[in-house]
Amino acid sequence: MREAHPLERQVGIDHYVSDGPGVGGRLRDDPSEFRVREIESGAINPEPLDADPSSYPHLLVRATLTDWDTNDFVGALSDAVGISRERVSWAGTKDKRAVTTQLISIRGVAPADLPDLSGTTLDPVGRIGRNLEFGDLAGNAFEITIRDPESPEAVDAVTDDLAAFGGDRVAVPNVFGHQRFGSKRPVTHEVGLHVVRGQWREAVLTYVGNPAETEPERTRAARTTVEAVASGPDPDWHEALSATPGHLGYERSMLHTLVENGGTELSDFREALEAVPWNLQRLFVHAAQSYVFNRILSTRLRRGLPFDRPVAGDVVCFADADAPDDLPLPDTDRLQRVTESRVDVVARHCERGRAFVTAPLVGTETELGEGDPGEIERAVLEDLDLAPADFDLPGNFDSTGTRRAILVGATPTVDRDPLTLSFSLPRGAYATAVLREYLKVDPRDL
């Protein structure tokens, strides 16, 4: 079994499924070489553009963005229109270095209000009576060009390995990609693990201090100062704040709170973490859950348990009946524990795309599996000194947990000149889970 890149092992991804070499090469030389198009769930049925705005207050717009992060675009859009960014909603967040096409909804504006922003095409498609939500996204279609591949012929062997792994369909472990944890400095899950253990001081210092070699020298110097201040008998948090440059906005928010509160009590550090936006607070815990999930999948892979079909003790979920026919979508609200007598029946459902084997994103309401899968889940949690009850946390850090499919099908189409992979994935799945198998390069280059 081929060992994963060292940076991937830091986030719980220990192996590749495909044993041979990757094609190598580079991605995103130009944004046009990484295209992403959202696939809507079918729950969106807009009214015409001239529909009554009092009944349908949200303008639905199809936005094609070149080299725009979704959050940055929403900020620029709301500023240009002169509205609060809370009036803009979208179903899925997209990366910057790409050409992306997605729907957005904007409350209380007309088509004539849309601005002309560089690198954007905004096409009004109708009006709807509510804002867009994550559930409106079924998945994403990708078209990705690999530049200067070192071994382009390896693409066929990788595809064969992934088809064997997926039970005669190309599929990969549904891991959380490296970017989930911080592309340049993967520490988000480490912060979250400290939060879940109630180690508020360690959580803050892991985020604010803890310099990484991949960061600019000025940033490393600031984090080194924070660690030096924190190690003293009477920390001067004002010195740490003064040393932290303005572009580290979240770090400065935490340090400013420590300056205000003294930074001596455990509660001071919890308040420092609560000084950042609520979605980042949640991301810390979600990243910890994602790390545990990746560890569970790595252990299952090492032990030789299948991903495309269940064994006794697994928990499966069934397919979302409203998903597009060509994009099976797991519905993790419909779960069933697999007994020995039901293994063959459920395996046939999995083969037909009607059911999916799952693993936990651990939270307070998580019910672990039984048999070998349950033993793996408990062993990973024990190794990390975690239990489902530990996720009973204050405020935005609390999480009830859920389950997630452990396998995701891709079935890429391959064009060879230039080498281009085209595939679709359900919402929540990472393109890097597929690309890492084909390229086998540093995850920061994906």
Q: What are the residue boundaries of the structural domains of the chain, listed by start? A: 6-27+146-174+410-445, 33-139, 188-276, 293-405
Which neighbouring-strand residues pair with 315? 337, 358
Q: What is the arithmetic mean of pLDDT over 169-194?
A: 93
Q: Is the pLDDT of residue 184 over 90?
A: no
**Best mean pLDDT range from 68-77, 92-101, 117-126:** 117-126
Q: What's residue 42's pLDDT?
A: 77
Q: Is the pLDDT of residue 302 over 80?
A: yes
Q: What is the arithmetic mean of pLDDT over 278-286?
A: 94
Q: What's residue 351's pLDDT?
A: 93
Q: How confident is the model at residue 354 (pLDDT cuts 50, 70, 90)?
A: very high
Task: Give me the helices (H) in 23-172, please.
Answer: 70-81, 154-165
Q: How far apart are CA 355 and CA 369, in angstroms?
A: 16
Q: How far apart are CA 297 and CA 301, in angstroms?
A: 6
pLDDT digits (tens, 9 = 90+) for 217-262: 999 999 999 999 999 999 999 999 999 999 999 999 999 999 999 9
Q: How confident is the model at residue 446 (pLDDT cuts 50, 70, 90)?
A: confident
Q: What is the CATH number of domain 293-405?
A: 3.30.2350.20
> Is 188-276 CATH 1.10.1510.30?
yes
- CA 55 to each of CA 105, 113, 127, 128, 133: distance values in angstroms, whole numbers, following the listed order: 15, 19, 9, 8, 19
Q: What is the CATH number of domain 33-139?
A: 3.30.70.3160
Amino acid in the structure at residue 383:
D
Instruction: Enumerate the active-site residues.
Output: 95
Amino acid in the structure at residue 384:
L
- Of 44-58, 295-309, 320-334, 406-420, least confident by mean pLDDT is 320-334
